[in-house]
């Protein structure tokens, strides 16, 4: 019996993982992708970094929630809608039960007691730094999920964070206000009195919280990572995370109702413990949605076992030559220079290996970055002076340093002879051919001077 179960499990596993998603028919793909996605998400939660990063964000949230609400309160006060923060916070903490309302009142009390004039310039700077640190940590976590190592430039980060802090609350409450105004309009009320429109609109209004959260999450998944996220993957991530976010409140409220033992054990600290759990759950859902968006955009990462991308020497050589070819070709024909995001689209590869090769080419002096955000890449030297042999040598020596290099390894005559033969064979094969020859298809004889 156990042998038959094992055979059945192996066949099922093979059907899930062994097929190439690009070659599957539409119906089967719609079955296999959700199954793979569920498996890799569970693995990420149990074995990956999402748990640790969600916990880290909980800690940062506790430090920055009052400053964040204070800044939002100040902005919204100018529009006369600052009183809407309290019901929004109370609704967020509603799953904590009656103590959640008390906690929201306490937080609002802290916010109202903040006097910017009393804080002084140093206190105000610390207040803004605390708010910015939360957004920066969220961006860092999203970049980790999307395997992006390059941060935005200082100017771009400043403008983006300022938009989130100052404009974000205004847009949220404007959307809520427009919805409420539209629903109270006389024409709308007349339409609602006609069935079945009234029934349908009533059902639709119950979906509005879900739709707003899904739209907000989709925007976050597109806006926060320092890479280009397509709309469909972000929408799928926002849909899953939004439904989980709204639905988790019911489950957590039921958990609170049956958690009298927490009050017995922790007494007055029980509400703090439950708040930490609730914040952790919400951050984890947000990060899971980002992970879903990543896997939907790069389904090749949904593998049977967790893999960390490492370029082999051969792949690094091929990718570096291909990147240099594309950049030089654009430059030679006076076309718009390429960005990392454009290369990701053209080569259909994840961001990480592209950034790795670009950093290598920039540090070697072959490419230079423009001052744009995101930066574009141009040849730093005349492509007629960049020889393929020189380029190939830089690619082969990537990763060497003072601690570990060709000079630090013990020398053996037999090994040195083989290495020299390989080096001479590469030099003889490439000859004097340059990057321009690679782009134009020129084929100079190996020994041409």
What confidence score (pLDDT) does residue 449 get?
45
Q: Tell me if 210 sits within 8 A of 242, measured CB to CB.
A: yes
3-class secondary-structure state, position 423: helix
Q: How many residues does the chain have?
A: 449
pLDDT > 70 fraction of the chain, expressed in percent and rounded: 71
Report the 10 Å Cβ neighbour count for 252.
20
Mean pLDDT over all residues of the chain?
77
pLDDT in tens, 29-51: 777 788 888 888 888 888 778 88
Least reliable range by pLDDT among 16-25, 54-63, 183-192, 275-284: 183-192
The CATH number of 313-440 is: 1.10.10.10
Residue 54 backbone dihedrals phi, psi, to 5 degrees: -65, -40
Each domain of the chain, given as residue ranges in start order, spans 2-46, 48-301, 313-440
Q: Tell me if 284 sits within 8 A of 236, measured CB to CB.
A: no
Quickly state the pLDDT bin for 286 (edges 50, 70, 90): very high
Quickly state the pLDDT bin for 445 (edges 50, 70, 90): very low
Highest mean pLDDT: which of 73-77, 429-433, 440-444? 429-433
Distance CA 153, CA 411 (A): 44
**If you average pLDDT over residues 286-313, what whole number do you get?**
81
Two tokens at 42?
């569970």
**If you average pLDDT over residues 220-240, what whole number do you get?**
90
pLDDT in tens, 83-109: 667 777 777 777 777 777 778 888 777
């Amino acid at each position: 019996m156990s042998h038959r179960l094992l055979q059945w499990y192996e066949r099922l596993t093979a059907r899930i993982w062994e097929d190439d998603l690009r070659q599957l028919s539409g119906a089967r793909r719609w079955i296999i992708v959700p199954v793979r996605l569920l498996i890799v998400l569970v693995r990420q939660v149990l074995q990956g970094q999402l748990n640790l990063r969600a916990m880290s964000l909980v800690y940062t949230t506790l430090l920055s929630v009052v400053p964040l609400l204070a800044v939002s309160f100040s902005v919204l006060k100018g529009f006369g809608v600052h009183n809407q923060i309290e019901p929004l916070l109370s609704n967020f903490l509603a799953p904590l039960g009656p103590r959640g309302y008390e906690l929201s009142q306490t937080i609002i009390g802290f916010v109202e007691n903040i006097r910017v004039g009393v804080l002084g310039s140093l206190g105000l700077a610390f207040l803004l730094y605390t708010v910015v640190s939360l957004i920066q940590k969220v961006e860092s976590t999203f970049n980790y999920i999307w395997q992006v190592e390059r941060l935005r430039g200082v100017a771009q980060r400043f403008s983006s964070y300022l938009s989130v802090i100052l404009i974000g609350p205004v847009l949220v409450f404007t959307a809520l206000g427009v919805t409420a105004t539209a629903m109270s309009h006389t024409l709308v009320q007349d339409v609602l009195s006609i069935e079945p429109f009234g029934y349908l609109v009533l059902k639709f209004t119950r979906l509005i919280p879900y739709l707003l959260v899904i739209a907000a999450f989709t925007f976050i998944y597109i806006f926060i990572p320092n890479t280009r996220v397509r709309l469909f993957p972000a929408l799928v991530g926002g849909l899953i995370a939004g439904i989980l976010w709204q639905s988790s409140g019911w489950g957590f409220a039921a958990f609170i109702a049956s958690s009298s033992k927490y009050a017995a054990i922790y007494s007055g600290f029980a509400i703090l413990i439950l708040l930490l759990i609730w914040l952790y759950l919400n951050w984890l859902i947000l990060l899971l949605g980002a992970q879903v968006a990543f896997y939907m955009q790069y389904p090749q990462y949904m593998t049977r076992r967790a893999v960390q991308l490492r370029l082999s020497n051969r792949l690094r050589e091929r990718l570096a030559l291909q990147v240099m070819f594309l950049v030089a070709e654009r430059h030679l024909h006076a076309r718009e220079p390429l960005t990392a995001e454009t290369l990701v689209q053209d080569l259909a590869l994840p961001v990480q290996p592209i950034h790795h090769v670009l950093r290598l080419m920039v540090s070697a002096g072959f490419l230079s970055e423009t001052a744009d955000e995101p930066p574009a890449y141009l040849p730093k030297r005349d492509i007629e002076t960049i020889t393929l042999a020189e380029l190939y040598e830089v690619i082969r020596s990537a990763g060497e340093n003072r601690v570990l290099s060709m000079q630090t390894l013990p020398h053996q005559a037999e090994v040195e002879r083989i290495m020299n033969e390989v080096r001479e064979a590469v030099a003889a094969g490439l000859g004097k051919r340059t990057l321009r020859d690679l782009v134009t298809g020129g084929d100079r004889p190996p020994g041409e001077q």
